Structure 1
Amino acid sequence: MAIEDSNETSNWNILPSLILNEIFSYLEYKDKLQASSTCKQWRIALHQTNQVPDVHFQIRKFDEDKVIKSNYIAQCIARKVKNITISFDSISAHCVQLLANILEELSTNVKVQKLVLNPSHCLFQKDQAFIQRHLVKRLLELVDTSDALETLSLGCSEQLFQSSVLLLDQLVKRHRNSLKCLMLATLRDDPDHYELPNLDVSLMGSFVNLQMCSIDYDYMSDKFLQSLSECSQMTRLVIHVHGILDNHPGTTEYAWNNVRQNNPHLKVRLNLVHAFEAVGMFHVTILKRAMPLSHLRVFFCEHLNTDAFNLLRDYADLESLWWVDSSVSDSTNSDILLDNYINLNPLVIAAWRLKKLKELVFLGYKCFVDDVVAMMRLRKFQRLELAYHDICSDVHSTYSMKTVLSEAKSCIEKGEAWRPRRFKDLHPVLQNPDMGDSDEYILPIVQADMNV
């Protein structure tokens, strides 16, 4: 047997590419990335595969390392990656420019199946001309180049949605058989004044395999629901409400029943965002008994519609209920006290009647301590969020905050991690509307609605 010279060292960087590629084939992608930092030869091996799994680009102005890394990865694998998520700081002109660079690299990739954009704010720090030339143009090229696009999400961007007519037309031409998820709903910078592209929502019925879509309520109508009835695999419809136009046609029970009949697994997520006028009437104008409502979220609408709460008990499929407004630290502020119900707190009724309710987030409004204890005992929540200073008592209260904390501790021991949130731990915009940006709170929540 030959004895290896003790002075001879193994030279891993000259391994035959066939062997190196075989080694890499056994590694997870994150381990491949780490291994590729060893030397140039190993870095080349990382990008010799024909397909690359999911890649998440993160472009934040405060994290230069991730920006550099995203640029490098985009240049190396832009033509091989299949599923792309891009999270970026949209109020940084530099980050928006980097987004444009990445989209340009991706625009010639025939393998792209999924593109999800996650901006940090609803508006970009670039004018509409730049967005048209460098973002929308690349998106259209990507849609045209891809062999079989399955998912496209604009991340609630109001400015990208302005080109939704062109995008939808191109998607119908190229991907009517492959598209499964199309997210077009927006967050509006000014919910009282905004432009509405002349979007032909009947085209939604062209996507024979459509499973998820999102849209602003401005486009909701029986015509739109009829187009969804032509699909048969819909599982999620996300609706964003900013306001209700005077001439809005609304929807009918018949249309909703028709959609449910053709899509028995469909669930609706309804998000009201800065809908200051609509929040007081949505239970009459928007909610329908035939609507398969699974999520209702009300963000910063500055009104507690208890009539709507009383109707929610009839939505047996409701899984998530959020009612969120900016709060105040002074617990004596009784003008928003939840006391305008006749018998029982409608939140308690919801916890009792809604067997599928898993999430309850109720911030910015007062709630009696007895009602909090009742909700905790009636329902095993996966997520329960209440502010400590919003839980109040009076001379008629049976329980105290000590009871609530004891019950919370018991929940934690059972694996239901919840505790009344201290004022200082709330998001700044929840503490005071002038202290934070509501986009930063809302966007991660509604963008998660768009995850496949």
Structure 2
Amino acid sequence: MTTIFPNRLARYHRRLHHHLPPVFNLFSRNIHPNKMSVGWGGLPLLPLRCVLDHLSTEDSLAALSTCRHWRSAVLLYEGRKDTLKLRVKHLEKNLFLTRLFRKYTRKLHIYIDSCGEELDNFMNYVLPQFFDTQKLQELVFIGPTYILQSPNTPVAKLNRIITESLMFKNMHCLQKLSLLGCEMGTVKNENGRYTHKNVEYYSRPLSFNSIPSPNDTVLSRCNAGMMTFFTLQQIVLDYDRMSTETLETLSELSQMSKLTLNIGLRRPLALPTIDWRRANRNLRVALNVISAPQKLFNELMDKVLIAELPLASLKVMFCKTLHADVLQRVVRLYKETLRELVWADAPYDSADMFHRIIKQQRDADMITMCNVNPLILLCWQCTHLQRLVIHGYWVWQYDLLGFVRLRKSLEELEISAIYNKQTRFSSAICSDNVVRVLARDTQKPLDTEFVQQVNLFTEFSWSPVSWEHLHPALRPRPSAEHRADYVLQEVNRT
């Protein structure tokens, strides 16, 4: 083996050093790449399979082509990948990955980068292979809208019979379902279940309505009797797919406690009005506002942020504004339920100092007349706040100190732009406006004494976020791919 593949094994030996924990590097420190018969090439199958567990899916496939011994290590113990990510376009690769990893896959993420015939082939040939596993805990569909970060892309329509049959097949273990930029298709003919023998067998107890109905947006209401035994706890979907009828159907799920709704990427003519009094008492809603225009925030406050909404999390990403009225409404209505606030933007790409200031148009009510920083108000009033993330906006260091002194319940605090001189943005502070981070701004280190002072009031070790270590989407001029990655990271966060 070593005479046939010496160069390939040597190259992969070097690559492994960048992926493996120190314990494996200690093992191989004195192994020469050209003497692989007593090193990596001679490892027993079980330890070698444990080594391959630390590689990504792409690197695991590369390892398969290295030599017969490495290929046997993966195939003999069957690839163990907790999270499997598939792209619809690559049908042959998907079939191979599914056959290799399906037995131990717990989280299945499907990127729908192509609709039409390629999506139909994926639904008919790849997805039914997971009927045999009965171990899926997370099922995520990501449509073109989220991949390209564009509202003009088409909505992907999923095969309802296959998708729902797969979900009910895993009803004893499935905990999370995400429908991002996609929706369930209409059942034209129930004979569609007979296109695959596994679907025919597993969907036999299910019923499907061929007439579109708001009751069937996520799951078919016809199967409400079986939903009582569903372990599904969290559902993620676009807000425009929600309705009071959909909420009533989801209320049939006895263990469902988390509902995540996304607003912004898909922009309907009008946001639907939902009667949240029909929801289960233990339901908590997470609201994600993504790349929304300024005018949408007024409709957001009128139709979405209402008193009956059981809001637990609010994330506003890439909207190019920090809307003080939204923060104040959140404080007034959700001080007992809010646990998380994320407001993230990339630095504003402008050299004009005029664009640094975001002027707030506020109503002259009791709170706004007090001229209180809305983030200070948030930390003071929201008694269960656990996570606070602010990127793209400058925060005065003593306001930051106020955050941790007022809210001892914080478990995670992530703020990247902190300034130490109150007079630096005096024009903005005096007029009670928000200060943007511009692309040409630089970060200055905070005093060690101040960082220590902040840590006196936190239950965790806090340090300022270095701009070099920020996600690429939070740096100047991010690409659509970087924004999509950050959005999906936050949306899929548990």
TM beyond 0.5: yes
| Equivalent AA in structure 2 for residue 394 of structure 1 | S
CA displacement 1:14-35 (0-9 Å, x = unmatched): 99xxxx89x6899698279799
Distance 2:52 2:123 in 1: 20
1:437 to 460, 479, 485: 479
CA displacement 1:309-346 (0-9 Å, x = unmatched): 11222432212112233433767755316796432111
Residue 310 (structure 2) pairs with residue 284 (structure 1):
no
Retained in 1: the 8 A contact 2:81–2:105? yes
The runs of 5 or more residues in structure 2 that have no matched partner are 1-36, 194-198, 207-211, 363-367, 431-443
Residue 458 (structure 2) pairs with residue 450 (structure 1):
no
1:237 to 259, 272, 291: 259
1:273 to 290, 306, 320: 290
Distance 2:416 2:42 in 1: 60
Retained in 1: the 8 A contact 2:285–2:312? yes
Distance 1:377 1:440, change over 3 A: same
TM-score, normalization: structure 1?
Answer: 0.64
Deviation at 1:270, TM superposition (A): 0.3
Distance 1:75 1:45 in 2: 17
2:462 to 417, 425, 437: 417
| Equivalent AA in structure 2 for residue 419 of structure 1 | P
| Equivalent AA in structure 1 for residue 128 of structure 2 | S
CA displacement 1:333-377 (0-9 Å, x = unmatched): 553167964321111011112222122223334544542332243
Distance 1:326 1:338, change over 3 A: farther
Partner of residue 345, structure 2: 325
Distance 1:45 1:439 in 2: 34
Secondary structure at the aligned position of 1:322 is classed as: strand
Retained in 2: the 8 A contact 1:214–1:239? yes
| Equivalent AA in structure 2 for residue 149 of structure 1 | N
CA displacement 1:189-244 (0-9 Å, x = unmatched): xxxxxxx9978338466333232112222133322222233232112100111277
Retained in 1: the 8 A contact 2:179–2:238? no
Partner of residue 306, structure 1: 324
Distance 1:31 1:47 in 2: 16
Distance 1:409 1:339 in 2: 37
- Please give the root-mean-square deviation of Cα atoms over the aligned residues, in Å: 5.5
Secondary structure at the aligned position of 1:74 is classed as: helix
Distance 2:268 2:140 in 1: 30
Number of residue equivalences: 392
Retained in 2: the 8 A contact 1:240–1:270? yes
Retained in 1: the 8 A contact 2:288–2:314? yes
CA displacement 1:26-48 (0-9 Å, x = unmatched): 96982797998996367446435
CA displacement 1:46-78 (0-9 Å, x = unmatched): 43568956253477x9xxxxx9xx779627525
Residue 388 (structure 2) pairs with residue 364 (structure 1):
no
Distance 1:197 1:436 in 2: 40
Secondary structure at the aligned position of 2:146 is classed as: coil
Deviation at 1:295, TM superposition (A): 0.8
Distance 1:301 1:124, change over 3 A: closer
Retained in 1: the 8 A contact 2:471–2:486? no
The runs of 5 or more residues in structure 1 that have no matched partner are 1-8, 62-66, 179-195
Retained in 1: the 8 A contact 2:177–2:235? no
Distance 1:152 1:110, change over 3 A: same
Partner of residue 293, structure 1: 311
Distance 1:327 1:51 in 2: 41
Retained in 1: the 8 A contact 2:140–2:178? yes
Secondary structure at the aligned position of 2:338 is classed as: coil
Residue 270 (structure 2) pairs with residue 250 (structure 1):
no
1:394 to 403, 411, 426: 426
State the identity %: 20
| Equivalent AA in structure 1 for residue 343 of structure 2 | W
Retained in 2: the 8 A contact 1:294–1:318? yes
Return 441-450 or 339-348, whichever deviates more. Answer: 441-450
